[in-house]
Amino acid sequence: MANSNHIPQITPLTLFYFLLLSSSSPTSTSAINITALLSSFPDLSSFASLISSTTISADVLQRTSVTLLAVPNSYLSSTSDLLTRHHLSPTNLPDVLRYHVLLQYLTWSDLHQIPPSGTLVTTLFQTTGRATSNSGSVNITFNPSNGVVSIHSPGPYSSPSQSSNATVLSLIKTLPYNITIFTVDSLLIPYNFDLTASETRPPLGLNITKALIDGHNFNVAASMLSASGVVQEFEADEGGAGITLFVPTDEAFADLPSTVKLQSLPADKKAVVLKFHVLHSYYPLGSLESIVNPVQPTLATEFIGAGRFTLNISRVNGSVAIDSGIVQGSVTQTVFDQNPVAIFGVSKVLLPKEIFGKNSATKPGNTGTPIIAAQPPDMSLSPENPPELNGPPSHLSSPPGVREKISSESPAIDGGVRSSLLALCCIGLYLVV
């Protein structure tokens, strides 16, 4: 007698239990509760107490990607000694603590890829409007000879008592793509910190050109914006939904192919190219990293017409990638981030295909101009980023206001889809049997 393979009978009751188990996986949320996270570490109780006495936890809840620099009890004086030692008052201590919240998710691998010359990272203090120039940023350096990661304010200090250097001690917590908590051996004080500044947020009225000049690497863009006159339009759009600017660095302009005659464009087309770098909504970095609809209209879309002059925004290898259809650049730094305005440095000049593409009326000389891609930094595997987590988030969120709602619903929606697919497969197998 020929052997036959026995296929086990799947009963409806078995199918029911299988679907019940597959659909009951826990959901996650992107909201970051730093007070709850710090409460798990007794050695950070003093720092956690300082955080909980301010509104910083609520500020961080609005963000999806941050790095917290926490000071252990053994390195942190009592509150009264702390205020005296650093000439602080209870009113400006919250800004000092905001200076320890970096508006970027950084891993050990990221820190070890920083060049010895350092890199500037924007902090939550920058969003208050009380930080002058780039004093709301920290400069992070990595010494490859001894593996030490140092953090300090980007400026000299005249008083030793105000010395603001810190060394990263250890990684104590990471929630991939949301938050990393490192311990440091000293409290950080912003350079040129105004001890008399109040907690009141000043009216924005941001001078975009000045903000770019203060960024020290956006002189070409600042000059073009001023000469074109569109910067006044951008500043007028700061109200309402806000704006997000992607500003090419000076190196990005220098790297343009010789066939791209940007400065030779007529004034109206040059203005369109500049508007192509602006979204008519406020997107902090965390929202860009998990944007729901990757195809985003720009101010140029509003000027020209729907469906044209759009940007494709996605997350690639831990960085925000921006594709114009001709070039792909990546966000290199946060220049300014205070609702309703966000300004990000980008590695490429974003060339719209409607002007520089093969089928456009204005082409950069060679109709076969290839895509100019800027490769985002490689996110190497590390203990805090295991292989199964070393990729993009499993769900995307939208601009502030609806981000928390979507991020809490998306996993449930995904789970329902998976359960439906499993049900179809199991029912089909049951019918065959």
Q: Looking at the predicted structure, is the pLDDT value of residue 161 above 70?
A: no
| pLDDT at residue number 374 | 44
| pLDDT at residue number 143 | 92
Pairing, β 319-323 against β 327-338: antiparallel
pLDDT in tens, 245-267: 999 999 999 999 988 888 888 98
Sign of torsion over alpha carbons 188, 190, 192, 194: negative
- Say whether 139 sits in a helix, a strand or coil: strand
Residues in the chain: 433
Residues 6+ apart with CB under 8 A from 80: none
In Å, how far from its chain's centre is CA 19?
37
Q: Looking at the predicted structure, is the pLDDT value of residue 369 above 50?
A: no
Do 261 and 270 contact (CB within 8 A), yes or no? Answer: no
Q: What is the DSSP letter of 401?
A: T
**Residue 152 in tokens:** 């300090």
Of 139 and 431, more confident: 139
Taking the C-alpha atoms of residue 242 and residue 422, their distance in angstroms, rounded to an integer, is 43
Q: Looking at the predicted structure, is the pLDDT value of residue 156 above 90?
A: no
Taking the C-alpha atoms of residue 320 and residue 330, their distance in angstroms, rounded to an integer, is 6
Q: Looking at the predicted structure, is the pLDDT value of residue 389 above 50?
A: no
Q: How many CA atoms within 13 Å lie on the side-chain side of 118?
A: 15
**153: pLDDT confidence band, cut at 50, 70 and 90?**
confident
**Residue 400 in tokens:** 């502030």
**433: pLDDT confidence band, cut at 50, 70 and 90?**
low
Q: At what angle do helices 267-275 and 219-228 cross, to 10 degrees?
A: 120
**Residue 200 in tokens:** 């009141």
Mean per-residue pLDDT, 179-195: 83
Q: Name the strand (E) or helix (H) holding 338.
A: strand 327-338
Burial track 260-293 (b if 16+ CB lie within 10 A, e otherwise): bebeebeeebbbbbbbbbbbbbbbbbbbbbbbee
Of 130 and 167, more confident: 167
Mean per-residue pLDDT, 142-158: 81
**429: pLDDT confidence band, cut at 50, 70 and 90?**
low
pLDDT in tens, 103-142: 888 999 999 999 888 888 888 887 776 777 677 888 899 9
Residue reference for tokens 């359960």: 419
Q: How far is the CA of 237 from the CAs of 242, 344, 400, in angstroms?
A: 6, 17, 17
Helix extents (H) in 89-154: 93-98, 108-112
Taking the C-alpha atoms of residue 65 and residue 300, their distance in angstroms, rounded to an integer, is 29
Residue reference for tokens 């719209």: 352
Mean per-residue pLDDT, 300-322: 86
| Cis ω before 399 (30° cut-off from 0) | no
Q: Looking at the predicted structure, is the pLDDT value of residue 324 above 90?
A: yes
Q: Looking at the predicted structure, is the pLDDT value of residue 15 above 50?
A: no
Mean per-residue pLDDT, 327-347: 89
Residue reference for tokens 């320890």: 100
**159: pLDDT confidence band, cut at 50, 70 and 90?**
very low
Do 105 and 180 contact (CB within 8 A), yes or no? Answer: yes
Do 181 and 216 contact (CB within 8 A), yes or no? Answer: no
pTM for this structure?
Answer: 0.49
Neighbour count for residue 11 (Cβ, 10 Å) = 10
